[in-house]
Chains A and B, each alone.
Chain A
Amino acid sequence: MSQTLFEKIWNAHVVAQEPDSPAVLYIDLHLVHEVTSPQAFDGLRTRGIRVRRPDRTFATMDHGIPTTPRDLPILDELAAKQIAQLEKNCAEFGVTLYGLHSAPDKMGIVHVIGPELGLTQPGMTIVCGDSHTSTHGAFGALAFGIGTSEVEMVLATQCLLQRKPKTMQVQIDGVLQKGVTAKDIILALIARYGVGAGTGHVFEYTGAAIRRLSMEERMTICNMSIEGGARAGLIAPDDTTFEYMAGREYAPKGPAWDKALARWRTLPSDPGARYDATLTLDAGALEPMVTFGTNPGMGIGITGRVPDPAKTPDLSARNALSKALAYMDLKPNQPLLGQPIDVVFIGSCTNSRITDLRLAASVLKGRKVNPRVRAMVVPGSAQVKRQAEAEGLDRIFKEAGAEWREAGCSMCIAMNGDQLAPGQYAVSTSNRNFEGRQGKGGRTFLASPLTAAASAVAGAVADPRTLIQ
């Protein structure tokens, strides 16, 4: 019988399945960070048990880590304590830690280093106590975020209790126009279908537009699947995937690579495989996207206008829109182009990889960040940082007047001191524009690295197509 990519991975990982119960699902790779793991390790101590498979468990520190030079102390006592606790937990339980002291040259955002190290592989089940674990689905891995109780369960048993989700095909065709990127595809998808569209489902992105994307672009798309409500986002592995993986530290080598490759080539959904639902999007019709509101579904084309609550028939949607515009201090029907901004943040697990930084640098090269704007560029990992410096991107950013920082989640989640002041506007390449997400009272416009860089130059929301060749 024809199976989807999701069904193939799911079926290959069911350890036990009782009627009327969730499946016991085996987890191939467990990624751990400092914020959602301390209580889970404490749980193991209380039970007097060890991590079942430390060889399948890898940790890093990213959420609370400062992006200031690494030789400076961590000033936030609570963050320092949480980071020290992770070091202690990893040492005690034998977990490999890419941390400040153990591996500063390889640490970074958990969803950047997993693929970068070759830990993320097609056909795997991957979990992490972080909703953006969906990123790893770009490799054809079933990857999803879990809570801390589930982190404890995976540490203890290498398994999770999971109800089988439904599948939703997201068919994206068409050829992207100049200046329109993977980030714009996913923002447009969520704007069209809403932040709850994928609830209870796993997305599988298909179509010619997806096939043409690089691995880093595919990661940007899968990363924000959770913003569309989906548990996970999948893209079938192909030669683009295998070329990206070959030679990476944890990728199979020699005969093991050939064997793995043969298995990975069987993963794509079979012809005629059925999905529970289908969404479609024409990538060729898109312009750069920007959000105006307080959830990622509140987005418009960059030349568009802010919607008018008075023209929104549904009462609760109207109230939500009015509340969002009040928080953002925007008027119905106003354009966003030209809206003055205070901060530009280029980074996060959505858009902090080398190709993202190249895009931003292509706009900033030979230009200056507007004096009213603080622009921060935060690479996703120490390896991305080194690569960018080898290519001279850091000089482009610094000469333009942007800050070039150390790797971390930084202003995406604003736990580490990198944050907006109340009332400030930011164009951000991150994934969430929730109230206060980037700092209490801060206001976020989500956009692509191209749009963020163009906006830094303009000192206002700007259309990158006016600045690129």
Chain B
Amino acid sequence: MNQFTTLTSKIVPLPNENVDTDQIIPARFLKVTDKKGLGDNLFADWRYDADGSPRADFVLNRPEMQGRQILLAGDNFGCGSSREHAPWALVGYGFRAVISTSFADIFRNNSLKNGLLPIVVDKDTHQQLFSLVQEDPNTTLAIDLAAQTVTLPDGRRVAFSIDHFSKTCLLNGVDEIGYVLNLRDKIEAFERIHEG
């Protein structure tokens, strides 16, 4: 699994609420048997015209947005389909963190497994972040996972919560499947009773 420790980046603002995973990566791009190359089709139907040319009005296509690794998204980001292709596309494009007021459950789980940090902030902080980016599009945030803080340009720190297990896995790049494989004795013992 990809490690996550700290990240300092400018922000891509996408204020839309309820962005579903069909928008993050449309279904026609799911006909793949590996995880590579999905970043090119991130937000494809918002990002490109019918002829494949970039739409100037979409935020990712603005020249100053290139290379930014933090997505500031609207409420309930990642709802809908369980496709892990959504975080694969976000990470493939270059994002390492998404900040919102809430995330859909499956998207959140899928993100954590791909080193993409979903950060939940309260409504006031959320609005403040959007205001900051509006006033200064080059607003830079510093995320520290160990400290569980997002540092704003004025030095103010916003704390965020993350469960201890996910944090440890992200900080150390723990292979969760390897962790559960090591519990084989417990699983076998469970199966004997469960099926007995």
Q: Which residues of A are in contact with B by a Cβ distance under 8 Å?
A: 12-13, 15-16, 20-22, 24, 26, 35-36, 38-39, 42-43, 47, 49, 52, 63-64, 76, 78-79, 81-82, 85, 129-131, 133, 144-150, 152-153, 156-159, 161, 163, 165, 195-196, 199-200, 226, 229, 231, 295, 297, 316-317, 319-320, 323, 413-415, 422, 432, 434-437, 440
Contact = CB atoms under 8 A, between A and B. Distances in A.
Q: Output the residue of B50, B106, B114 with the most chain A CB within 10 A.
A: B106
Given A20-B164, A317-B17, A436-B45, A195 B76 contact: yes
Contacts of A43: 177
Contact of A131 (B82, B87, B180, B190): B82
A150 B109 contact: yes
Interface in B172-195: 176-177, 179-181, 183-184, 186-187, 190-191, 194
Contacts of A231: 105-106
Q: Which of A15, A129, A152, A231 has the most CB of B within 10 A?
A: A15
Contact of A15 (B16, B105, B190): B190
A78 B23 CA distance: 21
A362 B27 CA distance: 33
Contacts of B114: 149
B144 interface: no
B169 to A, nearest CB: 9
B104 A26 contact: no
Contacts, number: 182
15 contacts: A20-B163, A38-B32, A42-B34, A78-B31, A79-B31, A145-B106, A146-B82, A150-B110, A157-B177, A157-B187, A158-B191, A199-B105, A435-B22, A435-B45, A437-B27
Interface of B: 15-18, 20, 22-23, 26-28, 30-35, 45, 50, 74-76, 79-84, 87, 102-106, 109-110, 113-114, 163-165, 176-177, 179-181, 183-184, 186-187, 190-191, 194
Contacts of B34: 38-39, 42
A15 B105 CA distance: 22
Given A20-B164, A147-B84, A295-B20, A35 B30 contact: yes
A129 B110 CA distance: 11
Contact of B110 (A39, A149, A152, A156): A149
A324 to B, nearest CB: 10
Contacts of A320: 16-18
Contacts of A316: 15, 17, 74-75
Nearest to B28: A415
Given A36-B83, A163-B163, A229 B183 contact: no
B28 A435 contact: no
A415 B27 contact: yes
Nearest to A201: B105
Contacts of B190: 15, 26
A182 to B, nearest CB: 21
A415 B165 CA distance: 36
Given A149-B113, A156-B177, A199-B104, 13 more contacts: A20-B163, A24-B187, A26-B191, A26-B194, A63-B30, A129-B82, A131-B81, A146-B82, A146-B106, A147-B87, A157-B180, A196-B76, A415-B30
A12 B84 CA distance: 28
B113 A434 contact: no
A414 B28 contact: yes
A165 B163 CA distance: 13
A165 B23 CA distance: 26
A158 B26 CA distance: 30
A82 B31 CA distance: 7
Given A131-B81, A156-B181, A415-B27, A147 B109 contact: yes
Given A15-B186, A147-B82, A436 B17 contact: no
B184 to A, nearest CB: 8
The 3 closest A-B pairs by CB, nearest first: A147-B84, A147-B110, A78-B31
Given A131-B81, A146-B82, A153-B180, A39 B35 contact: yes
